[in-house]
Structure 1
């Protein structure tokens, strides 16, 4: 059986699924997370960073996104 590959970075659509909020909210949240972690514009936000910022366990987020 092939191991399942997972993404490292989170996108606005993922945040919409997790939070139930709009695309605009999701894009704004990514910008806030980038500012919080001192990331440059071209750098991506990881699921780990999202979970740390929002205070949500990574395992719960993974369950929602995979399932």
Structure 2
């Protein structure tokens, strides 16, 4: 089953920042969205606020390798 929420520990890893900074980011996003402390922050909400690609973050959290779906990648594979 794939995870849909994100916690400060994962934010810390995604952003490469300290745990205290990650907690602050999560608190700030929840405050802006009007969420209560005990309500989870979804990956989509986090990505929209931080302007990150949802699929890349989901792949990192769910432990899978993100594969870019860029047209240039397909053309490069055909040329090889």
Pairwise TM-score range, normalised by the shorter structure? 0.7 to 0.9
Q: Matched residue pairs, number? A: 63
Q: List structure 1 runs of 4+ shifted beyond 6 angstroms.
A: none
- Report the aligned-residue RMSD: 1.0
TM-score relative to the length of structure 2: 0.73
Partners in 1 of 2:23 and 2:36 — Cα distance? 15
User: What runs of 5+ residues in structure 2 fail to find an aligned partner?
Assistant: 65-80
1:16-35 matched pairs, under 5 angstroms: 16-35=12-31
TM normalised by structure 1 equals 0.85
Return the structure number with greater relative CO, CA threshold 8 A, min gap 6.
Answer: 1
Greater Rg, structure 1 or structure 2?
2
**Runs of 5+ in structure 1 lacking a partner?**
none
